[in-house]
Amino acid sequence: MAEPRVMDIKDQPGFRTIAIICLLVLYVPVLILMIFSFNSGSLVTHWEGVTLNWYGTAFGNEEFHAAARNTLIISVTATIVSTICATLAAIGMTRVKPWRGLAAAFMVINLPLMVPEIITAVATLSFFALIAGAFGLNFGIGNLILAHTVFCIPFAYMPIRARLEDMDLTLEYAAADLYATPWNAFRRITLPLLVPGIMSGAALAFIVSFDDFTITQLVAGPGQTTLPLYIWNQIRRPMTPEINAISTILLMVSILFVSVSFLIARRRAK
Amino acid sequence: MGIALKSRVAAPQLPSRPAYGDNQPGTHLPPRAGSLNGVIVPEQPGKNAIEVRGVRKVFGTGENQVAALDTVSVSIRENEFFTLLGPSGCGKTTLLRLIAGFDFPTAGEILLHGQDIAPLPPYKRPVNTVFQSYALFPHMTVAQNIGFGLEMLGKPKGEIEARVAQMLKLVKMEALKGRRTSQISGGQQQRVALARALAPQPKVLLLDEPLSALDYKLRKEMQIELKRLQHETGITFIFVTHDQEEALTMSDRIAVMSAGKILQVGSPRDIYDRPAERFVADFIGETNFLPGTVVSKQAGVATVKFASNATISAGYPEGFDPSGEVTLVVRPEHADLVPDPAKGTITGTLSNIVYFGTDTHYHVKLDGGGENFIVRHQNSRSSAVTYETGAKVGIQFEEDAARVLKD
């Protein structure tokens, strides 16, 4: 049983009202979006009845397929590469003697989180334009993968680093004491215990890449439409509930990955 | 027969006890020089398991330098239960970490059977540690934890299984071998930690306050258990604790440490009855301190005069030359109360009587002033005299009760 608290924020006047307003503002638009994906009419503002037809239309849509394929190729590759980079960075910054510039390195890794995304997008675009101009190089979809990998690293890095910092260093001493060479101690002790952090970091990196719009919009070349770009293009035409259906699918994928990340994090806390 | 035979030679008092590796030929470290999977095998098994020679350990740099160990030298014999005892921050854990290889000395040598191991990484030292927090691997079962060291040594699978089974039996954990370490109690975790450290048959087992997390009853049980394990395995134990009672009851020898130095090394009786310094007397057990003046001395015994003009003869440690104003130490149980103040060496007024069940403490406010003097009486069914607070009493000392010590 929880102890009775002397001060409970719930007793403050207006607490309930403010909480309800916040929740409504956050979730009502999303709920409306999801509800209208089942609308049997072809307007997103006028409800006529329930149908699953728009999901059928979406799944039969070739453009949607192409966009989904692009998104998966980019997100999965970017997730794998950025998670590996983030893992190495986290190990290099927690399992070493403190060195000059450690704080600076930490800043450098996390700075992309603070830079406005549009700035990163313009910078990335200019960078690829420069490369293309100077060396005549264009990596095609590789440009997008590279850009996504880079901005995913700090997201993957955070849970991995947190996990490493939580880990009892004595375990690694114990492994060394029991004749494990540094490599064996890492392979048999540190890495297995780090897996939840890595999974959690990878899930975060995936959703960040999966629903990125700004950077993708600027960097993407012709034929490199991802799902967020596809939705953006569709809403500039007369909207049908098909867009609601596609958005709902995207939302479900995101929720799935956030939940996975959260559940892993919660299990490790036990 | 490797460790097992050596331990018998070094411990003739246990000739009939089989060491636990005996019926398993080939399961111990080979008694030849060289290395086993990179772990050194000492060449000349000497009398001393560990010799610490002039070891200094300094932490920090520049002005923030702190000497955690200030030129420490000590020899730890084979098959000995050796305790490093001292308050927190005295350097005992630092010394243990240097022997384990988790830190490296700033200066000095650490010899294992005559071979300098100070520069070796921990995974090349035939020394294992029981950690204060146990540090069991949470993603492995009890059996996997115990087998880890042997696995890292590259032992064949069958041998590992046999040894793990043996260790599980030794610490009475057979029933729980398949459990995760998070699914067993603190006392059981303690046993697994012990089994894991003993399984590779180290030359020396290091124990870093392993009992401090257990409750009183379990701690008492584990103290007996540890002594039994040390007997049965014949491995040298180096035990770190701040608990003086634990040190006195378990150790063959104790090193008392303070502020990065070893103040005294000796058997529990030596340390308790003949403390070398005031700190040792104060840290271990209860002690009365009495001011006095040396009037004469001869062959290790000084005659000390109290303010009351009464005199007492008191021994003093070798290498110490007491003179002038000194402090005498007397254990509470080495003094006696007498109802007639005229018969006491010193006199005072009973200020407090504290009943402890097994014994009673009498607090005496001395006529000369100063701290209260405590006399401990063992209680019996027929205590001849009863005292009341406020009574004038005398205090007599047993033979050799008082010692003069360095401050």
- Return the residue in A97, A169, A179, A195 with the most chain B beta carbons within 10 A, the one to mutate for interface testing: A179
Rg for chain B, CA atoms, rounded: 25
Q: How many residues does chain A have?
A: 270
C-beta of residue B210 within 8 angstroms of C-beta of residue B192 = no
Mean pLDDT of B129-140: 93
Residue A21: inside a domain: no
Residue A249: pLDDT above 60?
yes
Tell me B397's DSSP state: E
**Record: contact A193-B138, CB cut-off 8 A:** yes
- pLDDT tier at B364, thresholds 50, 70, 90: very high
d(CA A229, CA B257) in angstroms, rounded, equals 71
- Structure confidence at residue A4 (pLDDT): 61
Which residues of chain B does A178 touch, with a Cβ-Cβ cutoff of 8 Å?
123, 128, 148-149, 152, 196-197, 200
B47 DSSP assignment: S
Predicted local distance difference test score (pLDDT) of residue B2: 40
Residue A6 lies in a domain: no
- Give residue B384's pLDDT band: very low, low, confident or very high (50, 70, 90): low
Closest CA to A197 of A78, A89, A97: A89
Instruction: Grade residue A238 by pLDDT with cuts at 50, 70 and 90.
Output: confident
Six-digit token pair at A184? 């064996």
Q: Are B96 and B103 in contact (CB under 8 A)?
A: no
Res B381: pLDDT: 75
Whether A210 is covered by a domain: the verdict is yes
Give the whole-angstrom CA distance, residue B17 versus residue B19.
6
| Mean pLDDT calculated for residue range A42-70 | 87
State the CATH number of the domain containing residue A143.
Answer: 1.10.3720.10
Place B37 in a pLDDT band, splitting at 50, 70 and 90: low
In a domain, residue A18? The reply is no
Which whole number is the average pLDDT over A160-171?
91
Q: Tell me yes or no: is domain B286-405 CATH 2.60.40.420.
A: no
Nearest residue of A to residue B149 by CA position? Answer: A178
Q: Does residue B240 carry a pLDDT above 50?
A: yes
pLDDT in the model for residue B6: 39
What digits encode the pLDDT tens for the residues B169-188? 988 888 998 999 888 988 89
Residues for chain B: how many in total? 407
Say yes or no to pLDDT of A265 above 50: yes
Q: How far off is chain B from A47, nearest CA to CA, in Å?
A: 54
Half-sphere exposure of B244 (CA within 13 A, CB side): 15
- CATH (residue range B2-126+202-273): 3.40.50.300
In which region does residue A161 sit, left (phi positive, over 0), alpha (psi from -120 to 50) or beta (all else)? alpha
Measured at the alpha carbon of residue B200, what is the angle toward residues B195 and B201, in degrees to the nearest 5? 90
Residues 6+ apart with CB under 8 A from B279: B256, B258, B263
Q: What pLDDT is attached to residue B27?
A: 39
Looking at beta carbons, which pairs linking B369-377 to residues 24 or more positions away fall under 8 Å? B370/B290, B370/B291, B371/B288, B371/B289, B373/B288, B373/B290, B373/B330, B373/B335, B373/B346, B373/B348, B374/B286, B374/B288, B374/B332, B375/B332, B375/B335, B375/B336, B375/B337, B376/B286, B376/B332, B376/B333, B377/B336, B377/B337
On average, the pLDDT of chain A sits at 88
Tokens of B224: 């007996």
Q: What is the pLDDT of residue B34?
A: 58
Q: For position B23, what pLDDT does the model report?
A: 40
Structural Rg of chain A based on CA atoms: 23
**pLDDT tens digits, B385-398:** 678 888 899 998 88
Instruction: Please give the Cα distance from A173 to A180 (Å, whole number).
Output: 9
- Reference B276, options B286, B289, B288, B263; nearest CA is B263
Residue B316: pLDDT above 50? yes
Q: Which helix (DSSP H) or strand (DSSP E) does residue B49 occupy? A: strand B48-59
How far is C-alpha B383 from the geometric centre of its chain's CA atoms?
35
**Cβ pairs A/B, distance under 8 A:** 66
**pLDDT (0 to 100) of residue B10:** 40
Question: Residue A3 contacts by C-beta under 8 Å, 6 or more apart in sequence?
Answer: none
> Considering its fold, how many domains does chain A have in total?
1
User: Average pLDDT, stretch B16-22?
Assistant: 40
Q: In what order do the strands lie in the sheet with B392-397?
A: B335-338, B392-397, B346-355, B359-366, B373-378
In chain B, % of residues over pLDDT 90: 40
Q: Which residues in chain A have their CB less than 8 angstroms from residue B102's CB?
A: 173, 176-177
Residue A90: closest CA among A194, A200, A208, A196: A194
Q: B362: closest CA among B392, B323, B403?
A: B392
Six-digit token string for B165: 């089974």
Q: How far apart are CA B379 and CA B354, in angstroms?
A: 12
Which residues on adjacent β-strands are paired with residue B305? B293, B311
Nearest residue on chain B to A191, alpha-carbon basis = B139
Contacts of B127 in chain A (CB under 8 A): 177
pLDDT tens across A101-115, in order?
888 888 888 888 888
Judge whether B139 is closer than 8 Å to chain A, CB to CB.
yes
Q: Is the pLDDT of residue A40 over 60?
A: yes
| A2-16, A252-266, B19-33: range with highest mean pLDDT | A252-266
> For the ranges A50-59, B86-95, B141-150, B151-160, which has the lowest average pLDDT?
A50-59
In this predicted structure, what is the pLDDT of residue B1?
Answer: 36
Q: How far is CA A231 from the centre of its chain?
A: 18
Nearest alpha-carbon partner for A123 in A246, A215, A235, A243: A215
Report the run of H or E that residue B66 belongs to, with start and end: strand B66-77
> Closest Cα to residue A34, out of A191, A226, A255?
A255
Q: Where are the domains of chain B?
A: 2-126+202-273, 286-405
**C-alpha angle A29-A30-A36 in degrees, rounded to nearest 5:** 90
Across the beta sheet with B253-258, the strand order is B127-130, B204-208, B236-241, B81-85, B253-258, B261-266
3-class secondary-structure state, position B84: strand
Please check whether residue B249 touches A, CB under 8 A.
Answer: no
ipTM: 0.77
A114 CB neighbour count, 10 Å cutoff: 8
Whether the domain at B2-126+202-273 and the domain at B286-405 fall into the same CATH topology: no
Residues 142-171 of B with CB under 8 A from A: 148-149, 152-153
**Mean of the pLDDT values across residues B265-276?**
90
In a domain, A112, yes or no: yes
**Residue B102 is nearest to which of A173, A178, A184, comparing CB atoms?**
A173
What the block records as the tokens of B285 is 């057990």
Q: Is the alpha carbon torsion for B288, B294, B299, B300 positive or negative?
A: positive
Rounded to the nearest 5°, which phi and psi values hold at B20? -70, -15
What is the reported pLDDT for B41?
Answer: 66
What does the mean pLDDT of chain B come to?
84
Residue B185 in contact with partner chain A when CB distance is under 8 A:
no
Q: Is residue A84 part of a domain?
A: yes
Query: Averaged over A63-68, what is the pLDDT?
Result: 90
| B128: contact with A, CB 8 A cutoff | yes
Determine the distance in angstroms separating the CA of B94 from the nearest CA of chain A, rounded to an integer: 14
Q: Which of B7, B184, B158 is nearest to B78 (CA)?
A: B7
Question: Of chain B residues 28-87, which have a CB less than 8 A from chain A?
Answer: 37-39
Query: What confidence category does residue B7 fall into, taking pLDDT thresholds of 50, 70 and 90?
Result: very low
